[in-house]
Chain A
């Protein structure tokens, strides 16, 4: 792992921010010959507040929904001027799944030689935790509140990787900040390839997920162990899982550490678990012995575990 930092400490992210951890480490692998674009998101606010900047490489920002397009423009200029290195965009899930989807699709469709990184904290965090297309089923956000009639987000998380893969990119991969060797290998691959490359990183968010700041990495690991997050890559027209947990852990192990799921009832938990079982077969179906999935019927609901951060 290269030790040089191009995303410097002293930025203004919340302690334990998954986005900061992801970006710092991706930048270590990408190195100095990298030009960075960041759209409106937590990252722009905590990394580039005039007169300071946390990026030690050329850095640009303009708007929210245009990451795929701006990096296209920068890359075109660099190609014409013979400037070396990668042009990378770090967009949030809102800036990728929702408002930025069109520009993402445009760039992927044209096969632009750029690296698009989605740092996915599963909601619009910079504007104060609103639901996005990446918000998982059941999760509380300020626009999917816990009401008397409706509790939390009612849609399953959009599968953005499938959407990107449908464009036949030169490389696409999911990353976890808790699976570090896998993380580095994938960033390194993405760095070296040509054409459109997409990295999707799950980046836990302390206030948005209502978690303890020391548990970011642990929660990222549990996401993989429970099937909430799957590690795989798409290359040469084929998808391949890069890490498979020994066994499928019940999703409640992941959910109970996060205040945003505290209210979930049995029916919702079972729905989510059932969905995850299908997803598990979808991703690992080629090499699993049945059965790996257990649906928890009638067991205890998620309860407040006494941690003051959970559910405040």
Chain B
């Protein structure tokens, strides 16, 4: 075990090196570039044996990744924002063909009000693509999740691609103490990739023919069931990781001070850390506040969420993304999951376009959820940190 001071991007690069990914197509986009630059250095210095392929676009990056994975090797790539959007078409090729590609998406805002700062509006629209999606909170979790991602993705019960999402700049460019596991420990946890099938003239097969209506729906059904089944594997892998490396991340969801909580916030990514500080503050005042860290958006942990939320009087959802004229996507998912429970749910939108989520914002959020729990009138959807007056 080695302690290093690394940004989350560099922590990811170390994880990819330890995972011994063999084909790495790359195209630059801030704030993802640090990952590929460090991998390029590892390879150029002979410390890592892999093909870094400098593609001419992200569409081609995902095409190369899909080709390499179908060719039977462990594949990695990373992107963000506009790059992820350009891949959109090709994202669908990986899950439908059961190709266990691992990709890091460094969350960044997309489109007009253009910017390079964190927002989840790039990855949230891709949650119906068939990719598994996990959101991490710090550099250590980013590194660990890349290792776990390969185990989950390549498990024969799963064989699906995974997108590891990390908050741009807050994580990608901020350095922290990160523990980089030893190569032999990673090798024991994550053995060499043995593809379940591959394009090989020794054993020819057709992968991805055109599928007429007589068969296509069954393929969709199988994929749906597989995403559901991956929940079990995600939990198993996190438990095994914890045994081997001494730290787990909770699998699908992680909780903080939920045992006797009567109200709580559901959070993704780095906002969780801010929320944790406010929970401590509220607890010192004798309030029964709790925190639920939602790690996976796909598979979505419906049962787990219902279980931790049972007994609560109100729950809030934090969204770092927005479905315009509607709610944030996390709220939509959580609400459908909790429907019928009679639980009050409010949506809290903030941090868009990289706007800071301050302790004060988080305090306001908890104040609304607390009032909701006490039966006071509150707004269902609340924007936090907006300049000017909300109407």
Let me know if A53 is at the binding interface, CB within 8 A: yes
Q: Please measure, in the bound complex, the distance between the C-alpha atom of A76 and the C-alpha atom of B53, giving whole angstroms.
A: 9
Q: Given A32-B201, A77-B73, decide whether A37 and B206 contact each other with a Cβ distance below 8 A.
A: no
Cross-chain contact B215 with A106 (CB below 8 angstroms): no
Q: How many residues on chain A are close to B (CB under 8 Å)?
A: 47
Cross-chain contact B63 with A76 (CB below 8 angstroms): no
Let me know if A247 is at the binding interface, CB within 8 A: no
Let me know if B103 is at the binding interface, CB within 8 A: no
Cross-chain contact A73 with B90 (CB below 8 angstroms): no
Tell me the smallest distance from the CB of B129 to a CB of chain A, in Å: 14
Q: Please measure, in the bound complex, the distance between the C-alpha atom of A51 and the C-alpha atom of B69, giving whole angstroms.
A: 23
- A-facing mask of B53-65, CB < 8 A → 1, else 0? 1111101110111
B90's contact among A57, A63, A109, by CB below 8 Å, is which? A63
Tell me the smallest distance from the CB of B123 to a CB of chain A, in Å: 21
Closest to A71 in B: B67
Q: How many residues on chain B are close to A (CB under 8 Å)?
A: 43
Cross-chain contact B56 with A80 (CB below 8 angstroms): no
Residues of B within 8 A of A193 (CB): none
Chain B residues numbered 51-97 whose CB sits less than 8 Å from any CB in chain A: 51, 53-57, 59-61, 63-73, 75, 89-90, 93, 97
Q: Please measure, in the bound complex, the distance between the C-alpha atom of A62 and the C-alpha atom of B89, giving whole angstroms.
A: 9
Let me know if B25 is at the binding interface, CB within 8 A: yes
Query: Total A-B pairs in contact (CB under 8 Å)?
Result: 164
Cross-chain contact A50 with B215 (CB below 8 angstroms): yes
Let me know if A266 is at the binding interface, CB within 8 A: no
Q: Please measure, in the bound complex, the distance between the C-alpha atom of A75 and the C-alpha atom of B199, giving whole angstroms.
A: 10
- B-facing mask of A15-27, CB < 8 A → 1, else 0? 0000000000000
Closest to A61 in B: B208
Residues of B within 8 A of A103 (CB): 56-57, 59-60, 63
Residues of B within 8 A of A84 (CB): 201
Let me know if B207 is at the binding interface, CB within 8 A: yes
A76's contact among B51, B200, B204, B215, by CB below 8 Å, is which? B51
Tell me the smallest distance from the CB of B22 to a CB of chain A, in Å: 5
Q: Interface majority SS on B: helix, strand, loop or mixed?
A: mixed
Cross-chain contact B210 with A50 (CB below 8 angstroms): yes
Cross-chain contact B204 with A57 (CB below 8 angstroms): yes
B59's contact among A32, A51, A66, by CB below 8 Å, is which? A66
Let me know if B205 is at the binding interface, CB within 8 A: yes
Cross-chain contact B198 with A77 (CB below 8 angstroms): yes
Residues of B within 8 A of A37 (CB): 67
Q: Please measure, in the bound complex, the distance between the C-alpha atom of A65 and the C-alpha atom of B63, giving whole angstroms.
A: 9
Q: Please measure, in the bound complex, the distance between the C-alpha atom of A75 and the C-alpha atom of B70, giving whole angstroms.
A: 10
Q: Please measure, in the bound complex, the distance between the C-alpha atom of A85 and the C-alpha atom of B53, giving whole angstroms.
A: 20
Tell me the smallest distance from the CB of A88 to a CB of chain B, in Å: 12
Cross-chain contact A83 with B201 (CB below 8 angstroms): yes
Tell me the smallest distance from the CB of A4 to a CB of chain B, in Å: 13
Q: Please measure, in the bound complex, the distance between the C-alpha atom of A250 and the C-alpha atom of B116, giving whole angstroms.
A: 59
Q: Please measure, in the bound complex, the distance between the C-alpha atom of A167 and the C-alpha atom of B79, giving whole angstroms.
A: 27
Residues of B within 8 A of A80 (CB): 22-23, 51, 73
Chain A residues numbered 45-86 whose CB sits less than 8 Å from any CB in chain B: 45, 48-53, 55-63, 65-66, 68-81, 83-85
Cross-chain contact B201 with A60 (CB below 8 angstroms): no
Q: Please measure, in the bound complex, the distance between the C-alpha atom of A61 and the C-alpha atom of B25, giving whole angstroms.
A: 19
User: Can you add 16 more A-B contacts, CB < 8 Å, to A49-B209, A74-B68?
Assistant: A50-B209, A60-B70, A63-B89, A63-B90, A68-B60, A69-B55, A69-B64, A69-B67, A73-B25, A73-B64, A76-B71, A76-B73, A77-B23, A83-B202, A102-B60, A105-B56
4 closest cross-chain pairs (CB), A and B: A77-B71, A73-B67, A106-B56, A69-B63
Give B residues with C-beta under 8 Å from A.
22-23, 25, 51, 53-57, 59-61, 63-73, 75, 89-90, 93, 97, 198-202, 204-212, 215
Pairs A–B under 8 Å by Cβ, sample size 12: A32-B201, A48-B209, A48-B210, A50-B212, A59-B206, A73-B53, A73-B69, A74-B70, A76-B67, A80-B22, A81-B72, A106-B55
